[in-house]
Amino acid sequence: MSTIQKLASGHYRAQIRKKGIYRAATFASKTQAAKWAAEIESQIEGTGNAGLIAPPKGLTIGEVIDAYAELEPKLKWGRTKSANLKRLSLEFARVPVRSFNQVHIRDFLDRLTKSGAAGVTLAGYLSTLGSALGWAHHSRRINIDPNLAKNARAALSHSGVKTRGNQRSRTPTKSEITALFKHWKEKEDLLQIPMSDITTIAIESGMRLAEICGLLIEDCDWKARTVMIRDRKSPTDKHGNDQTIPVTQAAIDVLKRHADKRTEGRVFPGLNHRSVSARFTRSCQQLEIEDLHFHDLRHHALTNFANKGLSLPELSLISGHKSYDMLKRYVNLKASDLAKKI
C-alpha cells in the first residue's frame, strides 16, 4: 500500500510497500505524489511470476534505447552500433513501450528499404534493436518481448530479403603481395606508417588490424612465441575476452624490433588502425590492385595455416572464432589444394 506524507519543506513524500517491494520519492505537490504512487502500484501489480513489471505509462521505446546507449563507455561497442542506436531512438521516440509491436518495426524497415538500404543494413538495425530490447527485458525487468527484432529478421528472410552479406573469398596473390612490399620499400622515406611490418604480422598471425595496432609489449612472450589480445572481438561480449594466440617467428622478429628496448606500452605507439587501412587501400589503388582490403590478409593467413595441416580447434585458437560456421568463412580452401593431399 502507499502512504503520502507532507514534509516540513512543503513537499510531499510518497512511500510504497507492496509484495516485498519498497519505493519512495518526493514531489512538489500531493497530486504528483499520488499519481506516481498509483503508477508504481500498478507496475507492482503487473509483476508476474517471472518478476517482470508492466512498462511505466508514457515510457517510449526511444527512451529505452537512450538508456541502453548510456552503457557504451562500459561495453565499448563500435561506431556503427552507436549510429544505429541514434537512428532507432529518433525513429521510435514517440512509440510507447506498451504498444510497441511488429507493425512499428515493419514500417521502419519499409522506410529504410525505400531509402535504398540493403538487407544487410536492415539486419544491422534489427540486431541493435534486439540488444536494446533484450537489455530492457532481462536487466530492467520490463515486460517487453525481447524477440521482436529477431522475429522481424526471420520475417525478412521468409520474404526473400537477403540479410547476410556475400561471403568474401578474396585473398591476395603472391604477385600482389610482392608488388605491395616493393611499393612501400620505394616510398619508405615518405611513409610514416610501417606498412610492410604491419602487413607481415597480419600474414604471419591472422590478427585483425585493430588487434595489431593495439598490441602491448607486456602481452608478448618472445620465447613462447605467443601474444595476448585484450578484449578480443566476440559475437556476445568482447569485454574481458582476452585470448593468447601463437604467432610465427617472422612475426615475433618484427614485433621485437619495434619494441626495441621498451618493456611496456604499445608495440606501435600512436598508430591508428583506420589510418593503416586507408593507406593500404590507397596503395592498392596506386598499383591498380582491385578489390583487396587489409582484412583479406586475415583470410589469407588462416587459409595458409589450414594448408599447413592445422586442425579446426587449432585454427579457432588462432582466429578466436567460437564456431566452425564463422571460421569457415575465413578459410578459403581450394579443391586443387586438397587434391594434392589425397
**What are the residue boundaries of the structural domains of the chain, listed by start?**
2-45, 61-158, 174-339
Local confidence band at 263 (pLDDT 50, 70, 90 cut-offs): very high
pLDDT at position 3: 86
> How far apart are alpha carbons 170 and 296 in whole angstroms?
6
Distance of CA 199 to the CA centre of its chain: 24
- The answer to whether residue 50 scores a pLDDT higher than 70 is no
What is the average per-residue pLDDT within 39-47? 68
- The answer to whether residue 326 scores a pLDDT higher than 50 is yes
Written as nine digits, the cell of 43 is 507496475
> How far apart are alpha carbons 252 and 257 in whole angstroms?
9
pLDDT at position 73: 82
Distance of CA 38 to the CA centre of its chain: 40
Which whole-number Å values give the CA distances from 295 to 138, 242, 280, 304, in the listed order? 35, 21, 10, 15
pLDDT at position 46: 58
Identify the DSSP state of 243.
E
Written as nine digits, the cell of 148 is 521482436
Helix (H, G, I), strand (E, B) or coil at 94: coil
Q: What is the pTM of this model?
A: 0.61
Tell me which fold the domain 174-339 belongs to: hpI Integrase; Chain A (1.10.443)
- Secondary-structure breakdown of the chain: helix, strand, coil percentages, each rounded to the nearest 5: 50, 10, 40
pLDDT at position 165: 60
> How far apart are alpha carbons 58 and 78 in whole angstroms?
30
The residue type at 178: T
Burial of 10 (0-12, 13-18, 19+ CB in 10 A): exposed
Phi and psi at residue 185, to the nearest 5°:
-65, -40
How many residues does the structure list for the chain? Answer: 342
Lowest mean pLDDT among 114-118, 123-127, 213-217: 114-118
Sign of CA dihedral 260, 262, 268, 271: negative
- The answer to whether residue 220 scores a pLDDT higher than 70 is yes
- The answer to whether residue 49 scores a pLDDT higher than 70 is no
CB atoms within 10 A of CB 38: 14
Say if CB 164 and CB 75 are below 8 A apart: no
Helix (H, G, I), strand (E, B) or coil at 24: strand
